């Protein structure tokens, strides 16, 4: 009897140490009603990033098709930002250096000052930073749409699940999104250590079985 | 203790006590410079004055600071716009003006930048 309990304990221990680390999925589950065979079926699912359409530094459309089956990092910035943006971009450069050759990885940097940050300005900025438009998009759209997406697509979702006192760091957030368009992590992009965690988490996400 | 060692020790003590009136002021000034740098400059120019890619020029070993040491205060106060050449690389992004720094803080910051980033030997 005793041996059996011990054996089971050991087995449990083994199983738990074998399971790989998984990143949390952020946001409250929401009910989704679908009609199957004429019957209403209620599913509870995690919120996803809503569809969007922006233009990148090369004047090319960037939308949900662009991020299809990609793991990506999203951030919000503006070219003339005197405070935290250069710091964020510096940290993002580290992330980029690590994953820019991965075919299923992208960075999406949204300008929140589209009046100043024209396509030409974004192009110059991106080139000076050393970002390739193939996998680091600097995108602009109209201000309203961008703010709306930031608040309701990326931030509020993240905030709803934040366990940190004071909630999610509103500015300077780097948002990690998985291939199912679900938010898997928010990191303070002004902080080099949090950026290291992000780099680690991207790796974890890439190894995750779907 | 050997006699020569004692002499060196005494020499050092004298030096330290002589410097005492000057040192704290100097130190305080550098400390202010350091503080001003972390508050007003570090976000853009980096903790080590390394700059950011081809967007923001470095201060560390900047040949611009060496060439135009007297222009630094003006750049900080009034900002800097237009193409600028630093260590062989062309930069072109606006640096905002800073009207928050007092004149004292400004001169301490300039001093700090020159000493810290190597255009002045201390």
Residue B44 sits at the chain A interface (C-beta within 8 Å) = yes
- Give residue-wise pLDDT tens across range A112-147: 889 999 999 999 999 999 999 999 999 999 988 888
Task: Kindly report, residue by residue over B22-41, the tens digit of the pLDDT.
Answer: 567 788 889 999 999 999 99
Q: What is the CATH number of the domain that holds B107?
A: 1.10.760.10
Q: Alpha carbon of A48 to those of A110, A179, A181, B3: distances in Å?
A: 18, 10, 5, 80
Contact B52 A130 (CB under 8 A): no
Question: Which pLDDT score is estimated for A164?
Answer: 40
pLDDT tens by residue, A19-68: 567 898 888 787 878 888 888 888 888 889 999 999 999 999 999 999 99
Mean pLDDT of all residues belonging to chain A: 85
- Lowest average pLDDT, out of A24-38, A101-115, A176-190, B59-73, goes to A24-38
Tokens of A83: 């405070």
Percent of chain B topping pLDDT 70: 78
CB interface of A with B, residues 134-193, below 8 Å: none
> For the residues B1-11, what does the mean pLDDT come to?
53
Provide, as residue numbers in chain B, all residues whose Cβ is less than 8 Å from the Cβ of A129. Answer: 52-55
Q: How far is CA A204 from CA A14, A71, A102, in A?
A: 20, 11, 14
List the Cα angle B48/B52/B57 in 5-degree steps: 85
Percent of chain A with pLDDT over 70: 82
Higher per-residue pLDDT: B37 or A1: B37
- What letters, b where the CB count within 10 A reaches 16 and e where it falls short, cover A35-52? eeeeeeeeeeebbbbeeb
For the structural domain made of A49-207, what CATH number should be given?
Answer: 3.40.30.10
Q: Which residue of B has its CA nearest to A129?
A: B53
Say what the pLDDT of residue B5 is. Answer: 56
Which of A80, A89, A129 is the closest to B94 by Cβ?
A80
Q: Residue A90: its chain B contacts at CB < 8 A?
A: 46, 52
Q: Which residues of B touch A82 (CB under 8 A)?
A: 43-44, 96
pLDDT reported for residue B122: 46
Question: Domain residues for B68?
Answer: 3-20+38-117
**Within 13 A of A89's CA, how many CA atoms are on the CB side?**
34
| Domain positions in chain A | 49-207
**C-beta atoms of B43 and A80 within 8 A:** no
Q: How far apart are CA B105 and CA B100, in angstroms?
A: 10
Across the interface, of A82, A87, A128, the residue whose CB is closest to B55 is A128
Which tokens is B99 given? 């009207």
State the average pLDDT over residues A169-197. 88
Q: A191 is written with which tokens?
A: 């902080």
3-state secondary structure at position A37: coil
Residue A2 pLDDT class (50, 70, 90 cuts): low
Residue B18 CB neighbours (<10 A): 10
* pLDDT score for B28: 85
Using CA atoms, how far apart are residues A148 and A12, in angstroms rounded to an integer? 46
Rounded Cα distance, B106 and B30, in Å: 12
Strands A39-45 and A71-77: unpaired
Q: Which of A138, A158, A9 is nearest to A77 (CA)?
A: A138
The rounded distance, in Å, linking the Cα atoms of A98 and A47 is 28
Residue B93 domain flag: yes
Determine whether A117 is exposed, middle or buried from the number of CB atoms within 10 Å of its CB (0-12, 13-18, 19+): buried
- Domain-embedded: residue B48: yes
Average pLDDT of the residues of chain B: 85
Residue given tokens 């002004």 in the structure block: A190
CB A130 within 8 A of CB B54: yes
Give the number of domains in chain B: 1
Give how far the C-alpha of residue A39 lies from the chain's centroid of Cα atoms, to the nearest Å: 35
- Name the A residues in 109-138 with CB < 8 Å from any B CB: 124-125, 127-130
Partners of A74 in the beta sheet?
A108, A175
Lowest mean pLDDT among A24-28, A86-90, A97-101, A195-199: A24-28
Residue B82: inside a domain:
yes
Q: What is the predicted pLDDT for the residue at A30?
A: 78
Return the H-helix or E-strand segment holding A97: helix A85-99
Whether the CB-CB separation of A84 and B47 falls below 8 Å is answered with no
């Amino acid at each position: 009897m005793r041996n059996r309990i011990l054996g089971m304990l050991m087995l449990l221990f083994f199983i738990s140490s074998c399971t790989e680390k998984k990143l949390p999925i952020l946001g409250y589950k929401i009910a989704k009603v679908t009609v199957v065979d004429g019957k209403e079926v209620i599913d509870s699912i995690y919120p996803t990033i809503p569809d969007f359409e922006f233009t990148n530094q090369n004047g090319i459309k960037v939308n949900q098709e662009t991020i299809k089956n990609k793991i990506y990092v999203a951030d919000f910035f503006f070219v003339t930002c005197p405070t935290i943006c250069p710091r964020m971009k510096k940290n993002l450069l580290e992330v980029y250096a690590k994953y820019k050759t991965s075919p299923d990885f992208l960075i999406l940097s949204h300008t929140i000052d589209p009046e100043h940050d024209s396509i030409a300005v974004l192009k110059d900025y991106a080139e000076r930073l050393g970002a390739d438009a193939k996998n680091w998009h600097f995108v602009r759209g109209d201000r309203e749409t961008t703010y709306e997406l930031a608040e309701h697509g990326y931030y509020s979702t993240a905030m709803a699940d934040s366990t940190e006192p004071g909630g999610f760091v509103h500015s300077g957030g780097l948002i990690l999104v998985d291939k199912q368009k679900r938010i898997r992590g928010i990191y303070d992009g002004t902080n080099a250590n949090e950026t290291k965690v992000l780099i680690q988490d991207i790796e974890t996400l890439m190894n995750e079985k779907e | 203790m050997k006699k020569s060692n004692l002499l060196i020790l005494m020499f050092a003590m004298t030096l330290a006590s002589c410097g005492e009136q000057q040192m704290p002021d100097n130190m305080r000034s550098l400390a202010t410079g350091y503080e001003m740098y972390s508050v007003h400059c570090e976000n853009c120019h980096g903790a080590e004055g390394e700059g950011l890619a081809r967007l923001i020029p470095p201060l560390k070993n900047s040949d611009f600071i060496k060439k135009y040491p007297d222009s630094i205060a003006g750049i900080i106060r009034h900002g800097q716009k237009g193409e600028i050449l630093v260590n062989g690389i062309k930069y072109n992004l606006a640096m905002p003006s800073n009207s928050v720094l007092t004149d004292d803080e400004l001169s301490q910051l300039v001093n700090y930048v020159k000493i810290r980033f190597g255009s002045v030997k201390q």
